[in-house]
Amino acid sequence: MKLKIYKYHFIKKESDITLISESKSAILKAKEGFFRHRKILEKYVTQNNKFLTSFSPIRIKSEFEIVNLMSEASILCEVGPMAAVAGAFADIMMALMKEEDDPNIIPAKIALVENGGEIVVDSEKEMKIALFAGYNELNLNIGFLIENKDCPIGIGTSSATIGHAISLGQADAVTVFGKNATLADGAATRIANLVKGADVEKSIKNALDAVEDIEGVFGAFISRDNKIGQVGKLPKIFKIEGDKNIVLKNKFEGLFPGKFEIFK
């Protein structure tokens, strides 16, 4: 009997989340955990406004997992803690999906969490992820094949030309692969901020040189003005066939090529 893999999607304010797993109970636990930790963070930032607004690292050890994850990433990546917020939520949801001590859920063997483009994968089954590299020739032409040997892996993407996040650079897309999504999210922001200047090739090289300085980052892929650069250990790259307009029109169905049963 072929194993069913479910895809679940929900939106809460600026959080746009996709969960993929063979375990419905793990998906539901991750969703519940997201709302619980979001309430914690919302309350925390009302009492600690600097944590919300700072563009510089904030070193703090609190009783809250979400705050600690963001703080640690901000220090390693030399960015403000909110640069890693989407990745931190993704990591928390992944941990809940894999938890083995809860008798009420079946721990996920196949697990992917995407939160606003920040992704964490820990899966026995390979996953395909499309790269949205802005409005250039690379746009949705390539993707990354995440295999079991790559897992667990966090994937963070930052762009100056797409999305609502703040970037101080000029990259169409910087995709970073790291030990978790929190780190990859913060590192993508840091690296993307360095991709700037009239000399496109030089801007990419300067940014790639900084990748090895961030502990826990495996590698990075940078796209700017139809030029690319990569460094470190990246998952396998594959070419995406078919109508890219369809993928763009329906991100939910197109970002992760494959056959999934929609879980509502």
Residue-level pLDDT, tens digit, the chain, 264 residues: 578 999 999 998 889 999 999 999 999 999 999 999 999 999 999 999 999 999 999 999 999 999 999 999 999 999 999 999 999 999 999 999 999 988 888 999 999 999 988 999 999 999 988 876 555 565 556 789 999 999 999 999 887 655 545 556 678 888 999 999 999 999 999 999 999 888 889 999 999 999 988 999 999 999 888 788 999 999 998 877 665 555 555 555 556 666 777 766
Instruction: Using CB atoms within 10 Å of the CB of residue 263, give its burial: 0 to 12 exposed, 13 to 18 middle, 19+ buried.
Output: middle
Superfamily, domain 6-262: ApbE-like domains (3.10.520.10)
Instruction: Using CB atoms within 10 Å of the CB of residue 202, give its burial: 0 to 12 exposed, 13 to 18 middle, 19+ buried.
Output: exposed
Domain spans in the chain, listed from the N-terminal domain onward: 6-262
